[in-house]
Amino acid sequence: MSYAPNTPIDLIAVDLSRPAADQAQPLHNRWHPDIPPVATVATGVPFRAEAIDWTGGQIANNDDASDVRDIDLRRCHHLSGPIRVEEDGVPAAPGDLLVVDICDIGPLRGHEWGYTGIFDAANGGGFLCDDFPEAGKAIWDFDGKFTSSRHIPGVRFAGMTHPGLIGTAPSAELLAEWNRREGDLVATGEERLTLPKHLATRPLACLPEPAGALLGAIKADHPDHDRIAAEAARTIPGREHGGNCDIKNLCVGSRVYLPVFVEGAHLSFGDLHFSQGDGEVTFCGAIEMSGYAVFKASLIRGGVQKYLTPTCASKPLSVYPLFEVSPIEPRYTEWLVFEGQSVDASGAQHYLDASISYKMCVRNAIAYLSKFGYTAAQVYLLLSCCPCEGRISGIVDVPNCCTTLAVPTRIFDQDIRPCRDGPPVGPRLITRGECARPR
Amino acid sequence: MSYAPNTPIDLIAVDLSRPAADQAQPLHNRWHPDIPPVATVATGVPFRAEAIDWTGGQIANNDDASDVRDIDLRRCHHLSGPIRVEEDGVPAAPGDLLVVDICDIGPLRGHEWGYTGIFDAANGGGFLCDDFPEAGKAIWDFDGKFTSSRHIPGVRFAGMTHPGLIGTAPSAELLAEWNRREGDLVATGEERLTLPKHLATRPLACLPEPAGALLGAIKADHPDHDRIAAEAARTIPGREHGGNCDIKNLCVGSRVYLPVFVEGAHLSFGDLHFSQGDGEVTFCGAIEMSGYAVFKASLIRGGVQKYLTPTCASKPLSVYPLFEVSPIEPRYTEWLVFEGQSVDASGAQHYLDASISYKMCVRNAIAYLSKFGYTAAQVYLLLSCCPCEGRISGIVDVPNCCTTLAVPTRIFDQDIRPCRDGPPVGPRLITRGECARPR
Amino acid sequence: MSYAPNTPIDLIAVDLSRPAADQAQPLHNRWHPDIPPVATVATGVPFRAEAIDWTGGQIANNDDASDVRDIDLRRCHHLSGPIRVEEDGVPAAPGDLLVVDICDIGPLRGHEWGYTGIFDAANGGGFLCDDFPEAGKAIWDFDGKFTSSRHIPGVRFAGMTHPGLIGTAPSAELLAEWNRREGDLVATGEERLTLPKHLATRPLACLPEPAGALLGAIKADHPDHDRIAAEAARTIPGREHGGNCDIKNLCVGSRVYLPVFVEGAHLSFGDLHFSQGDGEVTFCGAIEMSGYAVFKASLIRGGVQKYLTPTCASKPLSVYPLFEVSPIEPRYTEWLVFEGQSVDASGAQHYLDASISYKMCVRNAIAYLSKFGYTAAQVYLLLSCCPCEGRISGIVDVPNCCTTLAVPTRIFDQDIRPCRDGPPVGPRLITRGECARPR
Amino acid sequence: MSYAPNTPIDLIAVDLSRPAADQAQPLHNRWHPDIPPVATVATGVPFRAEAIDWTGGQIANNDDASDVRDIDLRRCHHLSGPIRVEEDGVPAAPGDLLVVDICDIGPLRGHEWGYTGIFDAANGGGFLCDDFPEAGKAIWDFDGKFTSSRHIPGVRFAGMTHPGLIGTAPSAELLAEWNRREGDLVATGEERLTLPKHLATRPLACLPEPAGALLGAIKADHPDHDRIAAEAARTIPGREHGGNCDIKNLCVGSRVYLPVFVEGAHLSFGDLHFSQGDGEVTFCGAIEMSGYAVFKASLIRGGVQKYLTPTCASKPLSVYPLFEVSPIEPRYTEWLVFEGQSVDASGAQHYLDASISYKMCVRNAIAYLSKFGYTAAQVYLLLSCCPCEGRISGIVDVPNCCTTLAVPTRIFDQDIRPCRDGPPVGPRLITRGECARPR
């Protein structure tokens, strides 16, 4: 006898020539348990599923960042799925751990490019919105596993390709908890909680928003459509089910353990990243792309109780994913590392604030690297998408939290380490052009 | 002719049989430009300098954590130095970058052990003070480059040995700025700034404190002693000059670039760590030891202006160190990674708060690993000192900041990855004992 | 304006449903300067080229190794190319260095499998022919970047996917030198040279062989066909132009510098490997597959003279390639390492013989790993194709050359390190089945 | 109660101010079961043991290589030990596996330097004796974990510090077998075996040699001295017991499993290397030093039968060590890799000869790197001692064996990769001086 090859089954396809809202297998951009699966898969079977970039095609391969400036965030993220998972014909059950092997991810043939954007302040901005209030964009071309950009010349690196977003569907109970706590934040957050106001140029949270909602097979004329659209959670943050965690290390070759909250697990994914830096600091900050993924699922029955513990004792569903990293992450030996402390740009001292510390750390890195022929915006884009590592190095030394940002020196075509002569000046300085601005 | 060997010159020695306050080359535990150098070194010459553990010998190699509970923090950290640095007879000048190669670090012969402590809530507590209000301790024995503990059996790992604290002296101007901003925090912080109140069981900052001050050669009878003691900054946080940054990657083989603020640079160091995890979460959280270091210094004249940019435009001294990592960091392939989001233990939603997210992340890791025969306190101590990586993975997805904590699986004598059968139970479960508690 | 995506141009396609000898773009299995290019490519342009497995489809995805036993080696390797390389319209010239970036390699869609074979003694056998005279086979299924085999259960690893064979065309002069020296070996080798006779179950070299020759566009009716077929070198060994070097580290992400000997460089490649161990010891020993590659070429004009030196002073063409390794090689921390010395299986002492030493080293590894439930043939196949490292550790300590073989422990689903209890026995021993044998 | 620190016990000390032959704990430079132990150690106890450099102090820290030229090899290697190993008072027994953790290795205080030598042809020469017939020397200074040389400026790297030689004592039976087979080689090797005559400028093997023999506590007046001296094996090659395997990866942090052949195991070691390249090609090729080691032993009772298999079926003692590598090996991302094939410097073709192939590979690397301002002898010395990797990449592609030599690019202070402009010439070329030559 002869065997069939181990070709992944084709589970979900997208057609980039059609609108994101009009795909044969409908996409969704909200989380809700009532969004029906678009496909079913058995454990142990590799499957291929495609996804449109997170904006659903709003960004073009050009030199004009006005599309980033004018993006409609209510339509994001465009997700493929949900996928119902079964083992021996029995669906995944709440309380199981869904194990997903991330076997492969890549761009769609004919679409070997991606983008990194700086969000305009009017659209919420990014992590350093105060410094970079204006929209910007860099287009990245892919050479196999590597990428380079006409907007940030002189750098080239291998992708740590990953799904920025992968998660199971929430149960009605978990969804209600999300809406409760995020609603609380919006309603009373500025007074009740510890808000780093300097960051708050953006909405505190994105509550359910019927406008722009895509609910998969639940179309506008479906009797439940309006109810679901009003209840369904936005996809912006990561949560207990995984979701938009934006972890660069969740890349090809890793294995993630996701809690199951609904029968069948209802796995969805999207927001494919060719590469990302820790923090994804420009917000639209990874190298965003349309692409395909190959996954393989298995189940640990009852795994939530076996392995996980609620972070909030009174909320049994407050359990979070874990994962194993890949042996094929790109590795670097030489890193240049920048430091930040909890003193903000006005010189004010904060208390063990890792967010402010990391902000200052990223600013230090940008200022340094800008001495090598780049504009600050180019470096900001680069640190958002290259494989840099952002670490919480010390978080107990009152009042400062020390964070560090490590940049692999190999990705540059010049030596960026300090030397006696200082950075290149005069004839030695090669100006590295500009990233895209709105026209 | 024959050459002399490249033996590091003996610059600073300590005598562990004498009190920390009574060393031949006096130690200091405050930052002040007027603390005179105890030694001078030329660039390019490797030198050996010893340091007492950060507490100055307050912690014993026993099974009783009462010493950790009763520690006198006003006497910490005990630093060796300042060391005056000269090149060709010309001292380092403000505005230079002092380049320090960290050539070697190890325990003192006859003292091949260290400790990790959980601080008692009464003493400020650690990062997870709410969960671990009581003092605890683990003693670590060193086998060459590796360590293991009778208090946390079943783990063994190589050290990333580093100075938790290394820095130059502040100028009077920089010192004044530290005192201003930290004084502001203490005076008005709770109202003025964004304080994560859940963390605030500790003082907001440690302001100058004459009690317990060690000022090197400036003894109590020195006419300037009281002035300096009243002005000198505490050593708890890292700041512009480096200081107590507690960065595990600043380990043997790395090269750090420190801004110089006073003539001669006045390099001090201490708080030697055999190993530390990112965050150093129990506060006394690295594997703390007495030991020696071998350093080699060089200078980039005018390097601050050449390479650095103030983080606060109006404060030209607000510049921070950077460093290159070592090619001899221990490397691991297999990591198990835990996630945290900005939802606290009560279920309340915070806004892009990396500190809370990392707190939840560490709690998730502790809960998980406790299923493998350990108490939660043992795991808390372990994650504070083993080479785990704490990352800011996504910091723009409102309202959640996703942090991750990666634990190298190889350090355990059992397979800690999830499997179908669940963690060991019944006869398969080996109880891993207890860490030290106060007697 | 909008930009076209950076899609690799489609340069060479193969059709696996047609015979290897009957492809639209004809293949070749001999080296000769007169084989005309099938395509032309400009430097800087990524291009995609497909290749049939090295045997041209002689091996099937089944459980019967008779196809490996009966393979017709005269038809191997089936190469895609030659590709003519031009820069700004000017072809590569002899003396240039052709720089090839290996951007990507993968299986053809619908053919996600490969094979590793043990050659039968009658067909020349492999490195350990004395121990394994009979043909064997393992089929490997690919899950994205990972592979596993029904014939060697309990192992899974990431591929270091690479072209076993990549090279430029020889000039007439270089070809003549190959034929001279290899002819000499066959004619007089047993007497004249130092032949390890224990290895000599195979032909000493494969001289030009018209039978089975594929010469690309030079078909049987071409007036030059017979001449070329009589002169053309076989593709079995690597030589100055690269060729069948079978270097596992020449994988995706690496950059190779190939000497150019003919106008246009005439780059050919094939023998795609999903993975290979150092030595490729079973001969058909990598995980052989059909697949695609994405390359990008550039030129260093006059690079041979700039950088290379003939190994034989009187032969200016005796220059060899060099390459830079990839940052995305899979990395492992834990390796179990076996040793070999220059004492053969009969106990006879040889003189600094690295080949014999490595043979004994591989035998030691096979014997050891066979204690974990595998047959010796399974381990032999595994060590031929998994990412193990074969090193010449010491080659000066007369009379022994010490070689080592390092096996990454992570690829097994069990702990293969020695322990006090010994390897699994009785109920703990899981028998790992059998590899395929001829039916 | 308080605990004693885990200080390694002081087992063996050397005094570099006294002759190697006149140490308080006598050294030995031959292998024989009747050499009595100088110390006993229990399993589980870390112990410190010192060793004199392999020549016993024949090489000086100067710029004159005449000491390398005139070395007396009959007195080498100077070994510390034998150490008798017991567990719970019961000595190790033949058939056990002795497990040795290599906890630490470093230079002796006041002797932080080492040397690499090229052997003169008259003294046997090195691997490339044809190219480098004259003695040479480079002195290396240690800066903590790093080293640099006044004789090869512009390189600096971290050591992979290891015992070039570590092994158990042979039994009388095993010793007899060594003498038999090596005697056979000397007596009849040139005719009987496959001798690469081009390598045979050195003796085929070093048979027992009473002149210069050091037998530990068996002094010249001991009644058994002359018998033992006549029987005892030389220490040049590695053999079944480990011995002079010269494996650079057997470095600090690794764990080696050595077969036990005599009661008590009788562990000896020496030939400490600060660093070594694969192959140790200049013969005296590592960075040789005097120093200390910290080891910890344990036993796998009956481990030989449990895990090992004789390489020669009729010789049950033909079993070899294995080891686990260290997680703290220095790691590099960027490597430049050179290739060799089995065609020698005269252009003659050999048959799957890994030794010749590696010779050509090393020559290619030397020729290439010499273009960057170094003399060939400097590069030869460098490749012998820097952490370069020598691999048997393909050993089945008749008639060529493809070997590769990978050089980490980071160890140089200049970029050594090929570029369009070629290597530095004219004013850009910095001449790197000379290594030491005999005066």
Band of the pLDDT at D429, cuts 50, 70, 90? confident
Averaged pLDDT, B18-39: 97
B252 to chain D: nearest residue by CA?
Answer: D145
Instruction: Indicate the class that CATH gives domain D9-324.
Output: mainly beta
A403/B392 CB distance under 8 A: yes
- Measure in Å the smallest separation between the Cα of B185 and chain A Cα atoms: 6
Averaged pLDDT, D216-233: 97
In this structure, what DSSP letter does residue A240 have?
Answer: T
* Distance separating alpha carbons of residues A267 and A260, to the nearest angstrom: 9
**What is the crossing angle of helices B354-369 and B376-385, to 10°?**
120
pLDDT at site C195: 52
Smallest Cα–Cα separation from A3: which of C270, C157, C149? C149
Structure tokens at B270: 């201490």
Band of the pLDDT at C122, cuts 50, 70, 90? confident
Cβ-Cβ contacts under 8 Å, B327 against chain D: 157-158, 330-332, 410
Question: What is the average pLDDT value for chain B, to the nearest integer?
Answer: 94
- Mutation to test the B interface, candidates A207, A351, A421, most B Cβ within 10 Å: A351
pLDDT in tens, D97-145: 999 999 999 999 999 999 999 999 888 889 999 999 999 999 999 999 9
Cβ-Cβ contacts under 8 Å, A415 against chain D: 415
pLDDT at site A196: 53
Tell me the helices (H) and strands (E) count for chain D, helix number first: 6, 21
ipTM of the prediction: 0.95
Instruction: State how far the alpha carbon of B413 is from the alpha carbons of A32, B362, B409, C415, D162, in Å.
Output: 42, 21, 9, 11, 25
Averaged pLDDT, B96-110: 97
**Chain C contacts to B (CB-CB under 8 A):** 331-334, 410, 415
Using DSSP's 3-state secondary structure scheme, residue D143 falls into: strand
Look at chain B and count its residues. Answer: 439
Cβ-Cβ contacts under 8 Å, A351 against chain B: 185, 189, 193, 195-196, 199-200, 204-205
Smallest Cα–Cα separation from B68: which of B150, B124, B151, B152? B124
pLDDT in tens, C225-241: 999 999 999 999 999 99
pLDDT at site A198: 46
- Measure in Å the smallest separation between the Cα of B246 and chain A Cα atoms: 5
pLDDT at site A430: 83
pLDDT at site B191: 64
- Measure in Å the smallest separation between the Cα of A220 and chain B Cα atoms: 27
Query: In order along chain A (439 residues), what is the average pLDDT of each group of 10 residues?
Result: 90 97 97 98 97 97 96 95 97 98 96 96 88 96 95 96 98 98 88 52 87 97 98 97 96 97 98 97 94 97 96 95 93 93 93 94 97 97 97 93 96 94 86 92
pLDDT of residue D306 exceeding 70, the answer is: yes
- Measure in Å the smallest separation between the Cα of D333 and chain A Cα atoms: 5
C332/B331 CB distance under 8 A: no
Residue identified by tokens 């079977």 is: A45
This prediction has a pTM of 0.95
A410/D332 CB distance under 8 A: no
B205/A324 CB distance under 8 A: no
Q: What angle do CA A40, A41, A46 make, to 5 degrees?
A: 145
B159 burial class (0-12, 13-18, 19+ CB within 10 angstroms)?
A: buried
The CB density around residue A280, as the number of other CB atoms within 10 Å, is 30
- Measure in Å the smallest separation between the Cα of A391 and chain D Cα atoms: 21
* Distance separating alpha carbons of residues B379 and B374, to the nearest angstrom: 7
User: Across the A/C interface, how many CB contacts are shorter than 8 Å?
Assistant: 120
B191-202: burial string, b at 16+ Cβ within 10 Å, e else: eebbbbebbbeb
C420/D301 CB distance under 8 A: yes
B168 burial class (0-12, 13-18, 19+ CB within 10 angstroms)?
A: buried
Band of the pLDDT at C429, cuts 50, 70, 90? confident
pLDDT in tens, C374-392: 999 999 999 999 999 999 9
B334/C333 CB distance under 8 A: yes
Q: Which residue in A5, A61, A252 is closest to C144 by CB distance?
A: A252
Q: Which residue in C7, C139, C253 is closest to A109 by CB distance?
A: C7
Band of the pLDDT at D198, cuts 50, 70, 90? very low
- Measure in Å the smallest separation between the Cα of B334 and chain C Cα atoms: 8
C280 to chain D: nearest residue by CA?
Answer: D394
Contact predicate A291/A108, CB 8 Å = yes
Single-letter residue type at A199:
L
Question: What is the average pLDDT value for chain C, to the nearest integer?
Answer: 94
- Mutation to test the A interface, candidates B97, B120, B186, B194, most A Cβ within 10 Å: B194
Cβ-Cβ contacts under 8 Å, D300 against chain C: 418-420, 422
pLDDT at site C200: 44
Cα-atom radius of gyration of chain A, to the nearest Å?
A: 22
Single-letter residue type at B19:
P
Q: Which residue in A2, A101, A158 is closest to C253 by CB distance?
A: A158
pLDDT at site D427: 76
B395/A177 CB distance under 8 A: no
Averaged pLDDT, D305-309: 96
Beta bridge partner(s), residue C298: C99
pLDDT in tens, C301-358: 999 999 999 999 999 999 999 999 999 999 898 999 999 999 999 999 999 999 999 9
D146 to chain B: nearest residue by CA?
Answer: B103
A332/D333 CB distance under 8 A: yes
D339/C195 CB distance under 8 A: no
Cβ-Cβ contacts under 8 Å, A390 against chain B: 391-393, 395
The CB density around residue A101, as the number of other CB atoms within 10 Å, is 22
Averaged pLDDT, B108-120: 96
pLDDT of residue B8 exceeding 70, the answer is: yes
Please name the chains neighbouring A, where neighbouring means 3+ C-beta pairs under 8 angstroms.
Answer: B, C, D
B410/C334 CB distance under 8 A: yes
Cβ-Cβ contacts under 8 Å, D410 against chain A: 333-334
Contact predicate D85/D92, CB 8 Å = yes
Contact predicate D403/D340, CB 8 Å = yes
* Distance separating alpha carbons of residues A353 and B186, to the nearest angstrom: 15
Where is C242: in which H helix or E strand? strand C242-243
Band of the pLDDT at C420, cuts 50, 70, 90? very high
Using DSSP's 3-state secondary structure scheme, residue A358 falls into: helix
* Distance separating alpha carbons of residues C352 and C343, to the nearest angstrom: 10
Cβ-Cβ contacts under 8 Å, B334 against chain C: 333, 410
- Mutation to test the D interface, candidates A329, A331, A332, A333, most D Cβ within 10 Å: A333
Cβ-Cβ contacts under 8 Å, C104 against chain A: 144-145
Instruction: Write down the architecture of domain A335-428 according to CATH.
Output: Roll (3.10)
- Mutation to test the C interface, candidates B333, B407, B417, B421, most C Cβ within 10 Å: B333
pLDDT in tens, C259-302: 999 999 999 999 999 999 999 999 889 999 999 999 999 999 99
pLDDT in tens, D79-92: 999 999 999 999 99
pLDDT at site B200: 44
Averaged pLDDT, B62-81: 96
- Mutation to test the B interface, candidates C156, C328, C333, most B Cβ within 10 Å: C333
So where are chain A's domains? 9-324, 335-428
pLDDT at site B123: 82
* Distance separating alpha carbons of residues B156 and B144, to the nearest angstrom: 12
